[in-house]
Structure 1
Amino acid sequence: MSVTIKDVAKKANVAPSTVSRVISNSPRISEATKRKVRGVMKEMGYHLNFNARVLVRKSTQTIGIVMKYSSSHSLDNPFFSELLRGISASCHENDFSINLTTGDSEGAIFKDVVKMVQGKRVDGVIVLYSKKDDKVVPYLKEAGCPFIMVGTPAGRDKEILYVDNDNTQASKEAANYLLKLGHTKIGFIGGDSHFEVTSDRLEGYIQALREANLPVHKSYIKTLEFETTRSYQIVSEIVNLSDPPTSLVISDDYNALSVLAALQEKNISLPEEMSVITFNNTMITRLSRPKLTTVDTQSSKLGYEAARNLIEQLQHPDIVRKPVIIPASIVKRESCKPMKVK
């Protein structure tokens, strides 16, 4: 038989109401009594009835996670795995659970979100992306559901709470790193242009070139969306230019891996013939050959801070909160090399 509150109360020699207050961490109960009761709960193997707590608190103690793509596709990219690791750590500290969207298309993901909100399955939502013409964020605003974004909101909506890096500045620093190595012909390969992170990183790249009084060649700028097989076409287009770039800023480690494979197929070696700097500092950059120089966006911390801030918002809704900007820094490895002076 399962252990009840009454069983714990009898063993601890306190009233059942005291056990209930210990469970809810009531300030009316002394720390000594809390330690005593919690010790008995652990000794007896007492587990809180989650459904009963939901009824009492009118809270699910669950955070909804809206994926960029379907969960199976998103989790192929270690960046999202790192985000979830940070979210999970913060939720564990605060006794919250996680509910992931599982739809395999934007429409299906949106329906998942509606079910979460209307079915009161979650207390709040973390949106793991920022995208132009997205249906999820306007819906969450209209429904009055507490949420936070990982990514700067489209249109820089000041009413939306978010956690992000300064992606424009980070990309500018990545391009400047290549400039300091003597590269003046620098290409850019971004992800899906509908997402704010791609736009911001492209903007930083352009700013660096203009401040160095270098031309911005449209032929040097490519986008690599979810279909990474397009990397072979992109690499062919770049290397077959009459004056190809000697280095690349690639806006994501995951995309960089497919670009690296395409370069190797073309017998273009890194960093001897092409220098590459990428973003996120995931396990890909450490396991690739050569190891990739990357901008560490602290992806796990992005997730942790997103969950922490959302939970604080749920617990203290009257406190005004500001966006959280996580610093990024360049991790120098083996994929960049100074240009030889001719």
Structure 2
Amino acid sequence: MATIKDVAKLAGVSTSTVSHVLNRTRFVSDEKRELVERAVEELNYRPSSIARSLKVQQTRTLGMLVTASRNPFFAEVVHGVERRCYERGYTLFLCNTEGDINRMEANLDALEEKRVDGLLLLCSEVNDEIINLIEAERSVPIVVFDWGPESDNVDRIYDNSLSGARLATKYLIAKGHTDIGCIAGPQDRRSAKERLEGYRQAMVETGLPVRDEWIVEGDYGCEGGVEAMHYLFGLDKLPSAVFVCNDMMAIGMLSEAVRLGVRVPQDLSVIGYDNVYISRFTAPALTTIHQPKKEIAARAVDTLIDRLSSKRIEGLQIKVEPSLVERESVSNLKK
């Protein structure tokens, strides 16, 4: 395997000149640069990433930890993170904990041992054990998605769930709906709490009653939507519309509605949250609140890399605004 000394010898220049050409750290004349590049190509030389990392104290690698989740929202965020890392010249090491706290701890330790420059954490659930792991002294900066402890070592990026829930509920109201229910997510999660609160705020501000029997707590999965639809169907009266706090539960509701003979949107209007890719292919196509997953992923990566270059100490809280995507699952009662 060729070394930097072999390149320098073939090009007739010093090893420092080769280094400057490869790392673009100092001006080198076009003539010498061309000689070096020709020698690199002829010898098929590949710089040692290990040696470079020891010299500059950076590996240009990031680690990402993802807990197990069947929600395609997570896969779309991971795809965006991978893309942004590539655009910024970084390699991403991806680990899946499958909900195992011991595996999460082992992965965190392994990523730090690999000298990753920073960590990104995307977790579908939060508990005291996970928070304790994150709050423990870490040698690298951390960005978490959606949740996270208030810590100098942690940046947090999340969507404005309160605003998105208000937007969804007020959209239903603008379409003439007054009997509106809410399929909430697990109330131990920040996003789920804010979405339920946003629904309540929009209803109260418009002077509409919030009926407890039309509020159902789900699990953020399709199964939760199936169970919620079955529960609502068993009531004396269905609401005319429901705000469902994520798309997976909304998709579960649409599936169960077909089985029960409930027509969407004629009998029940449904609006979701997240705008996952498959939501446009449901029948009817799901009206939903769009989380800008590509922007969230890109800003998470950029925040981490910028922190590395600026040596910033304090943690940031970055909020991204959602928007409405109108499709076919909500009827207009004002027509």
TM-score tier by shorter-chain length is: 0.7 to 0.9
SS of the residue corresponding to residue 143 of structure 1 reads coil
Q: 1:331 to 1:42 in 2, by over 3 A?
A: farther
CA distance in 1, matches of 2:37, 2:215: 60
Name which of structure 1's ranges 55-64 and 307-316 shifts more when overlaid on structure 2: 55-64
How has the CA–CA distance of structure 1 residues 55 and 336 changed in structure 2, closer, same or farther, with 3 Å as cutoff? same
Q: Decide whether the 8 Å contact of 1:116 with 1:122 is kept in 2.
A: no
Task: Say if 1:29 and 1:332 are closer, same or farther in 2 by CA, change over 3 A.
Answer: same
Counterpart of 2:90 in structure 1 is 96
Q: Distance in 1 between matches of 2:318 and 2:255?
A: 35
1:170 corresponding residue in structure 2? 164
Matched, 1:206 2:222: no
Match of 1:222 among 198, 216, 225: 216
- Which residue matches 1:186? 180
Q: CA RMSD in A?
A: 2.7
Q: Does 1:264 align with 2:258?
A: yes
Per-residue deviation, residues 111-146 of structure 1 (Å, max 9, x unmatched) = 234423653542221122486534334433331331
* CA 269–113 in structure 1, closer or farther in 2 if over 3 Å, else same: same
The aligned residue for residue 134 of structure 2 is 140
Between the two proteins, what is the percent identity of the paired residues? Answer: 28
Q: How far did 1:83 drift? A: 0.8
Contact 2:200/2:210 (<8 A) preserved: yes
Higher alpha-carbon deviation: 200-209 or 15-24? 15-24
Give me the whole-angstrom Cα distance separating, in 1, the residues matched to 2:173 and 2:40. Answer: 62
Distance in 2, Cα, partners of 1:39 & 1:112: 44
Q: Answer whether contact 2:101 2:130 (CA < 8 A) is retained.
A: no
* Secondary structure, counterpart of 1:98 in structure 2: strand
- Equivalent runs, 1:1-342 vs 2, <5 Å: 2-26=1-25, 28-30=26-28, 36=34, 37=36, 41=40, 45-67=44-66, 69-70=67-68, 74=69, 76-116=70-110, 119-129=113-123, 133-144=127-138, 145-153=140-148, 157=150, 159=152, 160-225=154-219, 228-318=222-312, 322-339=316-333
Q: Is the 8 A contact 2:97 2:103 kept in 1?
A: yes
Q: Deviations over 1:197-241 (max 9, x none)?
A: 111111111111111112222221222216633433221111221
- Describe the shift of the 1:322–1:118 C-alpha distance in structure 2 as closer, same or farther (beyond 3 A): closer
Q: 1:58 to 1:243 in 2, by over 3 A?
A: same
Q: How far does the alpha carbon of each residue in 1:243-282 deviate from its partner, in whole angstroms, 9 at most, with x for none? A: 2211111122222222211111111121111111112222
Task: Indicate if the aligned counterparts of 1:101 and 1:112 stay in contact, CA closer than 8 A.
Answer: no
Distance 1:121 1:51 in 2: 10
- Listed as ranges, the gaps of 5+ residues in structure 1 are none
Unaligned 5+ runs, structure 2: none
Aligned partner of 2:141: which letter? P
**How many correspondences in the alignment?**
332
Q: TM-score, normalised by structure 1?
A: 0.86
CA gap of 1:229–1:282, structure 2 versus 1, over 3 A, is: closer
Q: Deviations over 1:26-84 (max 9, x none)?
A: 2x3358589645576457543332233333333343222122x32xxx3x322112211
Is the alpha carbon distance of 1:211 and 1:226 closer, same or farther for their aligned partners in structure 2, counting shifts above 3 Å?
A: closer
1:309 Cα deviation after fit? 0.6
Q: Give, as a single letter, the amino acid of the residue that structure 2 aligns with 1:300.
A: K
What is the alpha-carbon distance in structure 2 between the residues aligned to residue 130 and residue 32 of structure 1?
52
Q: Cα 1:23–1:183, aligned 2, differ >3 Å: closer, same or farther? A: same
CA 1:321/1:23 → structure 2, altered by over 3 Å: closer, same or farther?
farther
Indicate if the aligned counterparts of 1:270 and 1:290 stay in contact, CA closer than 8 A: yes
TM-score by length of 2: 0.87
SS in 2 for 1:229: helix
Structure 1 residues 16 and 82: alpha-carbon distance in aligned structure 2, compared to 1, 3 A threshold: same
Deviations 1:145-170, CA, capped at 9 Å, x for gaps: 3101211546xx37442222211011
1:292 shift after superposition: 0.9
What's the CA shift for 1:172?
0.4
